[in-house]
Amino acid sequence: MNDFIVGLIVGLAVAVVLAVALLSKAASAKKQAKAEVEKYKRMLQDRMELESDGLTKLKGEVEELKKQNENLRISLNTMSQKPGRKEMQRLDVYQTAAERLSINSPGFAPVWQAALKESEAEFRKTFLGLNPYLRKHISTKTSDAVLIENDDEGSL
């Protein structure tokens, strides 16, 4: 039995040494895993902070661009509604149409030039010189009455 007890003690001693070695190895692996988890946590936290900062900057830029877009939209509406803007657009359309007619219709150009000269003369007569001055200082009812009387005298 003595050999049995010695064998048992040697076996238990080997088992205790192996158990201590395994526990030491497990503790070391646990420390290593904990360190790795901490490393990943720091990396994740850094990444989340960077993404949060980037997202905040992007949101700020989006808000700024929305404000600029709204300001530009308002400016565009204001510019398109300025006095004379629509008239200038219409004049441009008329000019393009007149140019196309001059090119496509051979008899149009001389007639157009004559009509243009007549219109310019009428414009000068209506808006420049003595007629507008008289119209401004003499009421239209009075001048209409004078014109009617002059026509009646001329027909007699």
With cut-offs at 50, 70 and 90, classify the pLDDT of residue 132.
Answer: low
Cα–Cα distance between 50 and 34 in angstroms, integer? 24
- Six token digits for residue 17: 């040494």
Q: What is the mean pLDDT of the chain?
A: 81
- Answer whether 79's CB lies under 8 Å from 88's CB: no
**Residue-level pLDDT at 63:** 95
Cα–Cα distance for residue pair 24/22, rounded to 1 Å: 5
